[in-house]
Amino acid sequence: MAKAKRAEARTKKVEPLDRIANLLALLLVKDSKPSEAILQLWKAGFPDEEIADMLNTTLGNIRQTRYMALKKKPE
């Protein structure tokens, strides 16, 4: 089921402003560790699915990283 959603997301037409936002987000995190990049993108308001696609990782990895970060530093 998740693979089907990701495949569908890849085939959707990306709006120009969304493409620019994604490129700027990738520039923001290009020299970061993967866990830091995940948290920065999440704090910038990107949904888990988009973060996973941008960083070429799984939704589980995104959620686990966020969970561990929130567990360490309760806000």
32 contact partners, CB below 8 Å, separation of at least 6: 40
Model confidence pLDDT, tens digit, residues 3-45: 665 556 556 676 888 778 878 888 888 888 989 999 988 888 8
Query: 59 or 54: which carries more pLDDT confidence?
Result: 59
Cα 5 from Cα 27, distance rounded (Å) = 26
Residues 38-63 have a mean pLDDT of 91
Q: What is the pLDDT of residue 6?
A: 58
Highest mean pLDDT among 5-14, 42-51, 56-65: 56-65
Q: What is the pLDDT of residue 68?
A: 92
Query: pTM value?
Result: 0.68
CB 53 within 8 A of CB 26: no
Alpha helix (H) ranges present in the chain? 2-11, 16-29, 34-43, 48-55, 59-72
